[in-house]
Amino acid sequence: MSKVPLKAAGAPPALAALILIDVITDYAFPGGARLRRAAPPALARIVALRRRLQAAEVPVIYANDNRGRWRSDVRELASRSVAAGAPAIAGLLPGRSDYVVLKPKQSGFYATPLAELLHHLGVRTVVLAGLAGDGCVLCTAIDAHLRGYRVIVPRDCVASISPARNRRALQILAESFGIDTRAGARITRRTLQATGGARAD
């Protein structure tokens, strides 16, 4: 996890968090070239979603694959992504107020401190966006649902190596788990307040 200070003692709970899954990547894995071609529209919408939710005081958490590099950190991952010319990476790099969790497997919860961080922040609703919709986003969303979180996966803020695979993953989330897959533009402060997920003014 990054060294960004946690929520100050006595501060009101965040209630919602935006979790960005594997948006920092060099695409150097099987299927990566196809995912790289499919990702830019979703990544552009993620940048806009992040900006809007940060303005609503929603914390941003990066859950990023360590790609088997156990001595790695987010700075190294970002450097590799920038060097590889990853699309839209400039607008997706973590800021000083963001949190970073490195994960060894598909789910952001598996063998990471993500659950403890969400508990510390008082989060009840998680908005998940990133790559790939039918892999790490799917696994993290199901894991969050099983842990009792209100889960939103904006359908236009995730990408997979093919549109068909992305649609199938979103369909599973919506139909089998009742997960909200509204478009990213429809996720606002008011939306999160209505679902118990944002701090009131």
- Per the confidence metrics, is the pTM higher than 0.85? yes
Q: Among candidates 43, 21, 39, 33, which has minimal Cα distance to 106?
A: 21
Give dist(CA 13, CA 30) in Å, integer.
40
Say whether the peptide bond before residue 132 is cis (omega within 30 degrees of 0). Answer: yes
- Asked whether the beta carbons of 103 and 74 are under 8 A apart, the reply is no
pLDDT at 3 (0 to 100): 36
Q: Cα(151)–Cα(145) distance, rounded to whole angstroms? A: 6
Q: What does the pLDDT read at residue 2? A: 40
Q: Domain spans of the chain?
A: 16-194
Supply the pLDDT for residue 88. Answer: 62
pLDDT above 90: percentage of residues in the chain: 67
Q: Are 26 and 81 in contact (CB under 8 A)?
A: yes
Q: How far apart are CA 186 and CA 190, in angstroms?
A: 10
Give the pLDDT score at 93. 87
* Low-confidence residues of the chain: pLDDT under 70: 1-12, 68-72, 82-90, 195-201
| Structure-token pair, residue 117 | 């961080």
167-178 pLDDT, tens digit each: 999 999 999 999
What is the reported pLDDT for 84?
66
What CATH fold (topology level) applies to the domain 16-194?
Answer: Rossmann fold (3.40.50)
